[in-house]
Structure 1
Amino acid sequence: MRVINTFWNWFQDNNQTIQNLINENPKNQKHISFWINKNLSYYCKEIDFIIVFPKIGNTKSELIITANGNPEYFNQVIDLVDNAPQLKSWKFTAFIQPTERIDKIIDGLDEPYIFHEITLKASELKFSPLLFDKETKKLDIIVYLKNHKIHCNTKTWKQAVFIILQDLLGEKSLYQNINFVQLAQMPNNIEELIGLYELQLYIDNLNNNLFRI
């Protein structure tokens, strides 16, 4: 608890500087980010932070504390955020949350994710279930992508799909519900495939025994 308070005391003392980070030059941004990470590491070296700056004036900045999907550090994330101070200009969030852009994804109006030579849109990705383990309540899936055969960097593909899944499900739900992800080329016939943006709904229905594999 003492280490938690030490971090938040430091954050409160520097919160205005941190909130202005987006307006700083790259050198100062790097310096400020270094000290946020340094002070966070005194509490736990395995967790990270993301700052979301407001797009509309007079709204709060958001500090997201993430365990990078590692369940061993979920409790550290929760404990830290549970003890966050009340600051008028800040919102503190445990874990990366599901995207709020789901309507745009459904309509195909979502912005693409760009990873090196790979460009992906969540709205264009499909999935099919492989196996649902009733004991762990975790699902194995195949994610289908366009032009998957063209690229040979499987690691980059998997990292890209993981980031998109994390945005769609949220950090905690991704760990709790997904066990294994296999990538495959999008087939010509996609009638039986499910839009990836429907994955959380599919999981909820499985857990409610409405769907059976």
Structure 2
Amino acid sequence: MKSINTFWNWFQENNQTIKNLINETPKNQKHISFWINKNLSYYCKEIDFMIVFPKIGNTKSELIITANGNPEHFNQVIDLVDNAPQLKNWKFTAFIQPTERIDKITDGFDEPFIFHEITLKASELKFLTLDYDEETQKFDIIVFLKNYHFYCDTKTLEQAVFIIIQDILGENSLFQNINFVQLAQMPDNNEDLIHLYDFQMFIDSLNIEN
């Protein structure tokens, strides 16, 4: 608890500077981010943060604490956020949450994710299950991409797909339900494949049947 309080005490003292991060020069942004990460690491080196700044003036900024997908550190994330202070200009959230843009994705109007040389749209990804582990209650899945043959030698491809899955499902659901992800080229006949944005619906339907 001492290290939790130490982080939040530091955050409270510096919260106005952090809230103004987006308006700083790149050099100052890097400096401020370094100290956020440094103070967070005093509590737990394996967790990370994201800041979501408000699009409308005078609304709250959001500090998201993430375990970077490592379930071994989920409790540290929860404990930290549970002990967050009440600050009128801040919202504190445990884990990366599912996207609120799901309607745009299902309609195919989503903006593409751009990772260096890779461009992917979440609405164009499909999947099938490979295996189900009854002990862990997790699936191995295969994700199909239209341009897999073009990107398959790119080192960041798996990471890019992982980020998209996390954005669609949220951090918690991803690591509760998915064990392994394999990538493959989208076949010409893909009508029997499931859209990746329907994965949560797929899981929910199984729970209903059981």
TM-score, normalization: structure 2? 0.97
Residues 94, 24 of structure 1: alpha-carbon distance in 2 compared, 3 angstrom cutoff? same
Residues 70, 195 of structure 1: alpha-carbon distance in 2 compared, 3 angstrom cutoff? same
Kept in 2, the 8 Å contact 1:4–1:80? The answer is yes
Deviation of 1:147 after TM superposition, in Å, equals 1.4
User: Take 2:181 and 2:155, find their aligned partners in 1: how far apart are those partners?
Assistant: 12
Deviation of 1:153 after TM superposition, in Å, equals 2.3
AA at the equivalent of 2:104: K
**Aligned with 1:32: secondary structure?**
helix
Q: Does 1:55 align with 2:55?
A: yes
Deviation of 1:132 after TM superposition, in Å, equals 2.0
Q: Which residue does 1:124 correspond to in 2?
A: 124
Kept in 2, the 8 Å contact 1:127–1:196? The answer is yes
User: Take 1:89 and 1:132, find their aligned partners in 2: how far apart are those partners?
Assistant: 44
Q: Which residue does 2:78 correspond to in 1?
A: 78
Q: Which residue does 1:103 correspond to in 2?
A: 103
Listed one character per residue, the Cα deviations across residues 114-136 of structure 1 (whole Å, up to 9, x for unaligned) are 11211000001111111222332
Kept in 2, the 8 Å contact 1:137–1:207? The answer is no
Listed one character per residue, the Cα deviations across residues 156-192 of structure 1 (whole Å, up to 9, x for unaligned) are 2111110000001111111110011111101111110
State percent identity of aligned pairs.
80
Listed one character per residue, the Cα deviations across residues 64-95 of structure 1 (whole Å, up to 9, x for unaligned) are 00110011111100000000000111000001
Deviation of 1:31 after TM superposition, in Å, equals 0.9
AA at the equivalent of 1:141: I
The gaps in structure 1 that reach 5 residues or longer are none
Structure 1's consecutive aligned runs of 4 or more residues displaced over 3 angstroms after TM superposition are none
User: Take 1:133 and 1:45, find their aligned partners in 2: how far apart are those partners?
Assistant: 30
Deviation of 1:154 after TM superposition, in Å, equals 5.1
AA at the equivalent of 1:92: F
The total of aligned residue pairs comes to 210
Superposition CA RMSD, Å: 1.1
Residues 152, 141 of structure 1: alpha-carbon distance in 2 compared, 3 angstrom cutoff? closer
